[in-house]
Amino acid sequence: MTLDDCRALDAQDPLAALRDQYILPKGVIYLDGNSLGVLPKAAPARIAEVVAKEWGEGLIRSWNSAGWFDLPQRLGDKVGRLIGAAPGEVVCTDSTSINLYKVLFAALSQQAATGRKLVVSERSNFPTDLYIAESMCRERGFTLKLIDASELPAVLTDEVAVLMLTHVNYRTGAMHDMKAITAAAHAAGVLTVWDLAHSAGAVPVALNDSDADYAIGCGYKYLNGGPGAPAFAWVHARHADKFVQPLSGWWGHAAPFEMTPHYRPAAGVSRYLCGTQPIVALAGLECGLDTVLAAEPLGGMAALRKKSLALTDLYIQLVEQRCGGHGLSLVTPRAHAERGSQVCLSRAEGAYAIVQALIARGVIGDYRAGDDQAPDILRFGFTPLYLGFEDVWNSVEHLLQVLETADWKRAEFNAKNAVT
Ligand SMILES: *Cc1c(COP(=O)(O)O)cnc(C)c1O
């Protein structure tokens, strides 16, 4: 595989034109769209319009006249197209952490009468998911049981109420088989809560086809919604009208402007809204969503997935071909069915500093700390919407140079920042 081969792949790439939808800084190869997506070209003007026209001129009238009121549902329908959900099944609102609180509470309420007392999740799940589950279990008399993925499905006994998993692991990029695991969970009487933070816009997701129960996900990663963009929540239609989420604010009321003293939940997933929505942030999210949906005429998530796998395959191949002997190991599974849209490497020494040295060269990935059971990780996300095969070649070239020159040993690359 040569640089010319990579250029040839770019020349044949049917998705190449999608890159033009974004503002990407010159000289940057951005391998961190799994953590914060890039800026859609349409976003600055759209956000300025919302501020100057809809807020500045429309004022409070814009809740009706500019369609602010049903933005969470309208954007939810757009997200639904990416995750195998039907119209009316998703809302965009709040953060991933808060939405997890809501759906996990609903799932536990649903299991309350069964006497099942365990919530099962992976030890390597994203910390906020575990923290939210830990506090909810404490408050509601459940126990959080942390497992390794290899213990599934055997761990799903009649003591388990809810299985809470992140579909694509944030540290390793390993992807679960949602349909098979959900079937095993249901066979054991267990409800499933799926976190799609590293899946929505990254890999095809089929929530209804998988018969999942609850799902949440992030707006600022592969959906390019901007820093802290609203997240989303999905509830299977069989549960959506039945369970009241605990943050029963007026925005999830059946008729908020009747201003009645008692809560009456809205029909369906709209009850998962809580308070007044962040309209400017939702406008930014819509710009991001539209850039992902722009792939629909070109084959949609299936086409994005095909390119994503080609990019991550190429990255793995080039790292092994060109950086062999430098102590890097592959953490992400090689099997396509088990891989999300990122490649994670580990190294006994210098993982943090190598990432910093790469960032100084304009190759932006990130570092995730390990512990006694998991290695430090160099994490590289591949977003087929704006990355090409030549970018992959160049990012490996920089990695090789950082390793060969031992550039990463410089003090400036070894001082830890607050956000890694
Ligand atoms: C990114 C991520 C989150 C982020 O949660 P916030 O509430 O947006 O901070 C949660 N869960 C997973 C699995 C993530 O990858």
> Token pair for residue 330?
């592959």
- Tokens 């930014």 -> residue: 284
**Parallel, antiparallel, or unpaired: how do β-strands 214-217 and 191-195 relate?**
parallel
Q: Which of 170, 203, 218 to mutate to test the pocket of ligand 1 (most atoms within 8 A of CB)?
A: 218
Rounded CA-CA distance 324/131 in Å is: 38
Rounded CA-CA distance 74/277 in Å is: 13
* 212 contacts 218 by C-beta, under 8 angstroms: no
Average pLDDT estimate for 140-149: 98
Q: What distance in angstroms lies between residue 196's CA and the mean position of ligand 1's atoms? A: 9
> Token pair for residue 259?
């201003």
Question: Going along 289-330, which residue ranges are E strands?
Answer: 328-330
pLDDT band at 405 (very low <50, low <70, confident <90, very high): very high
> Token pair for residue 118?
């365990």
Give percent above pLDDT 90 in the chain: 96
Beta bridge partners of 234: 90, 215
Total-model pTM: 0.97
pLDDT of res. 419: 84
Question: Going along 131-206, which residue ranges are E strands?
Answer: 143-147, 160-166, 191-195
pLDDT band at 220 (very low <50, low <70, confident <90, very high): very high
Rounded CA-CA distance 10/4 in Å is: 10
Classified as helix, coil or strand, 37 is coil
Average pLDDT estimate for 264-283: 98
Q: What distance in angstroms lies between residue 113's CA and the mean position of ligand 1's atoms? A: 30
Q: DSSP code of 51?
A: I
For residue 170, the ligand 1 atom closest to its alpha carbon is 15
* 233 contacts 213 by C-beta, under 8 angstroms: no
CATH topology of domain 45-293: Aspartate Aminotransferase; domain 2 (3.40.640)
Residue-range domain boundaries for the chain = 3-30+299-413, 45-293
Rounded to 5 degrees, φ, ψ at 81 are: -65, -25
Average pLDDT estimate for 343-348: 96
pLDDT at 374 over 90: no
pLDDT of res. 127: 96
- Give residue 278's region: left, alpha or beta (phi > 0; psi -120 to 50): beta
- What are the Cα distances from residue 76, in Å, to 212, 278, 280, 282? 17, 14, 16, 11
pLDDT of res. 243: 85
Rounded to 5 degrees, φ, ψ at 361 are: -90, 0
Q: What is the mean pLDDT of the chain?
A: 97
Write the residue with the smallest CA distance to atom 4 of ligand 1.
Answer: 96
**96-138 pLDDT, tens digit each:** 999 999 999 999 999 999 999 999 999 999 999 999 999 999 9
Rounded CA-CA distance 170/34 in Å is: 9
Classified as helix, coil or strand, 332 is coil
Write the residue with the smallest CA distance to atom 1 of ligand 1.
Answer: 197
Cis peptide leading into 153, omega within 30 of 0? yes
Rounded CA-CA distance 46/48 in Å is: 5
Average pLDDT estimate for 84-92: 98
Q: What distance in angstroms lies between residue 5's CA and the mean position of ligand 1's atoms? A: 37
For residue 98, the ligand 1 atom closest to its alpha carbon is 7
pLDDT of res. 367: 94
Where in the sequence numbering do the catalytic residues fall? Answer: 126, 195, 220-221, 379
Give percent above pLDDT 70 in the chain: 100
The CA-based angle 412-381-13, given to 5 degrees, is: 125
Q: DSSP code of 350?
A: -
pLDDT band at 372 (very low <50, low <70, confident <90, very high): confident
- Tokens 């994670």 -> residue: 344
Average pLDDT estimate for 310-315: 98
Which of 31, 25, 66, 29 lies closest to 46 in space, CA to CA?
66
**168-183 pLDDT, tens digit each:** 999 999 999 999 999 9
End-to-end CA distance of the chain: 32
> Token pair for residue 411?
């003090």
pLDDT of res. 98: 98
pLDDT band at 347 (very low <50, low <70, confident <90, very high): very high
For residue 228, the ligand 1 atom closest to its alpha carbon is 8
315 C-beta neighbours (distance < 10 Å), count: 26
For residue 35, the ligand 1 atom closest to its alpha carbon is 1
pLDDT of res. 420: 78
| Choices 3.90.1150.10, 3.90.950.10, 3.40.50.720, 3.30.565.10: CATH for 3-30+299-413 | 3.90.1150.10
* 21 contacts 40 by C-beta, under 8 angstroms: yes
Amino acid sitting at position 384: P
Q: Which of 32, 97, 123, 368 to mutate to test the pocket of ligand 1 (most atoms within 8 A of CB)?
A: 97
Q: What distance in angstroms lies between residue 373's CA and the mean position of ligand 1's atoms? A: 22
pLDDT at 336 over 90: yes
Three-state SS string over 185-238 comes to HHHCCCEEEEECCCCCCCCCCCHHHHCCCEEEECCCCCCCCCCCCCEEEEECHH
Rounded CA-CA distance 258/236 in Å is: 28
**Parallel, antiparallel, or unpaired: how do β-strands 143-147 and 366-368 relate?**
unpaired
